[in-house]
Amino acid sequence: MLRIAVPNKGALSESAREILLEAGYRQRRDSRELVLVDPENEVEFFYLRPRDIAVYVGQGTLDVGLTGRDLFRDAQVRDTAEEIMALGFGRSVFRLAAPVGAFSDASQLAGRRIATSYDGLLTDYLQQTGLDATVVHLDGAVESSVKLGVADAIADVVETGNTLRAAGMEVFGEPILDSEAIMIGRAGERPAGLDVLLRRLNGVLVARRWVMIDYDISRDLLERAVAVTPGLESPTISPLRDESQVAVRSMVRKSDSNRVMDDLYDLGARGILVSAIHAIRL
Ligand SMILES: Nc1ncnc2c1ncn2[C@@H]1O[C@H](COP(=O)(O)OP(=O)(O)OP(=O)(O)O)[C@@H](O)[C@H]1O
Ligand SMILES: O=P(O)(O)OC[C@H]1O[C@H](OP(=O)(O)OP(=O)(O)O)[C@H](O)[C@@H]1O
Ligand SMILES: [Mg+2]
């Protein structure tokens, strides 16, 4: 049985549950359940703190895990665990921040104190940039640390920036890491069942990002229409009763779908229909 670690709480837990349900797996009903066996799919889910998941996978206890890229890098288990798939949700940027106007460049932090819950990530960054600053470890709410006198700046997760603004702080310097939810696995290993999990998750991601478009177009405009909707591989062209017309079916990116509909309409296509894709295997 494939043993999968899933966040039990926090920013990633609800989206993790949704993507696994969409991929056809069972998920726990009660947030107090720690383990859930899904015998039909031959997998076992372990609900753990997102911060600990990289440790469990890195040390070989569990096969794969869903966590944040920032948490994975912070755990410093890159010798034994690796990122195997990016999942497109839980996006954030890990970066430096300080009270408005205090610093404009990371180099100004030499000899200063930086508070963070991500010591590993920050220490790696300081080493890579040759910056000599002191890391102050805090468990969370690091935005309060400068005002309360334990640090001069912070390194933290920024999503909307609302938390920083409310604390009278601003980001400065280059972003340290772009993060999102990822699947991690043991380095170089492909345990039984992993390929199916990845194929299913990829199917959900594609179904979320793409829609199906159908339309009718006159035969003489077909080449131009197909150039607007080339699809993932090759669009389906079907004959219509009116022989001067054909029906076209193709996949388009959800984010482009309105522009594509406008372009097709201008070209002369009619009966343009966009529908969601429920599931897909490529
Ligand atoms: N707005 C957000 N706030 C916090 N984390 C976010 C946000 N958006 C995405 N994430 C990601 O979620 C993960 C952190 O999850 P979470 O906040 O649950 O953990 P934590 O901060 O270690 O725990 P807790 O907040 O329960 O003490 C990271 O990968 C982080 O990048
Ligand atoms: O840019 P924003 O959209 O405001 O989101 C970023 C905030 O969210 C996280 O806090 P969390 O709620 O996890 O609390 P914590 O700091 O105690 O971990 C993170 O540590 C930031 O404080
Ligand atoms: Mg948090």
Q: How far is the CA of 218 from the centre of ligand 3 (A)?
A: 55
Whether residue 217 contacts residue 246, with contact meaning beta carbons closer than 8 Å, is answered with yes
Ligand 1 near 182 CB (within 6 A): no
Ligand 2 near 273 CB (within 6 A): no
Reading the block at residue 252, the tokens are 């388009």
Per-residue pLDDT, 18: 97
Per-residue pLDDT, 124: 98
Per-residue pLDDT, 233: 87
Tell the residue nearest (CA) to atom 21 of ligand 2: 157
Whether residue 211 contacts residue 126, with contact meaning beta carbons closer than 8 Å, is answered with no
Q: Please name the amino acid found at residue 8.
A: N
Ligand 2 near 163 CB (within 6 A): yes
Measured between alpha carbons, how far is residue 10 from residues 7, 49, 50, 148 in Å?
7, 8, 8, 25
Instruction: Show the beta-strand stretches assigned E in the chain.
Output: 2-7, 35-38, 43-48, 64-68, 81-86, 92-99, 113-116, 134-137, 153-158, 169-179, 181-186, 210-218, 236-239, 245-253, 270-276
Closest atom of ligand 2 to CA, residue 166: 4
Same CATH fold assignment for domains 2-89+180-192 and 92-178? yes
Instruction: Report the residue among 92, 117, 121, 139 best suited for mutation to probe ligand 1: largest number of ligand atoms under 8 A from its CB.
Output: 92
Q: Which residues of the chain are modeled with pLDDT < 70? A: none
Per-residue pLDDT, 61: 86
CATH superfamily assigned to domain 2-89+180-192: Periplasmic binding protein-like II (3.40.190.10)
Whether residue 151 contacts residue 145, with contact meaning beta carbons closer than 8 Å, is answered with yes
Q: How far is the CA of 56 from the centre of ligand 2 (A)?
A: 24
Ligand 1 near 92 CB (within 6 A): yes
Q: 90: phi > 0 → left, psi -120 to 50 → alpha, else beta; which?
A: left
Q: Where are the domains of the chain?
A: 2-89+180-192, 92-178, 211-276
Q: How far apart are CA 49 and CA 93, in angstroms?
A: 20
Per-residue pLDDT, 3: 98
Q: Is 160 exposed, middle or buried (0-12, 13-18, 19+ CB in 10 A)?
A: exposed
CB environment 119-131: b (16+ within 10 A), e (fewer): bbbbebbbeeeeb
Closest atom of ligand 2 to CA, residue 142: 16
Per-residue pLDDT, 281: 86
Fold of 211-276: Alpha-Beta Plaits (3.30.70)
Ligand 1 near 8 CB (within 6 A): no
Per-residue pLDDT, 232: 87
Q: How far is the CA of 144 from the centre of ligand 3 (A)?
A: 14
Q: How far is the CA of 135 from the centre of ligand 2 (A)?
A: 19
Q: Which residue intervals of 144-210 are DSSP H helices?
A: 162-166, 194-209
Does the model's pTM come out above 0.90?
yes
Measured between alpha carbons, how far is residue 40 from residues 37, 44, 66, 119, 265 in Å?
9, 10, 21, 40, 46
Q: How far apart are CA 176 and CA 158, in angstroms?
A: 11
Ligand 1 near 203 CB (within 6 A): no
Per-residue pLDDT, 86: 98
Closest atom of ligand 2 to CA, residue 141: 16
Tell the residue nearest (CA) to atom 14 of ligand 1: 11
Q: How far apart are CA 271 and CA 265, in angstroms?
A: 9
User: Residue 172 pairs with which residues in a beta bridge?
Assistant: 96
Instruction: Report the residue among 157, 159, 177 best suited for mutation to probe ligand 1: largest number of ligand atoms under 8 A from its CB.
Output: 157
Ligand 1 near 159 CB (within 6 A): yes
Reading the block at residue 280, the tokens are 């897909």
Please, what's the largest Cα pairwise distance for the chain? 78
Q: How far apart are CA 65 and CA 201, in angstroms?
A: 13
Q: How far is the CA of 10 from the centre of ligand 3 (A)?
A: 7
- Which CATH number is 92-178 given? 3.40.190.10
Q: How far apart are CA 151 and CA 23, in angstroms?
A: 44
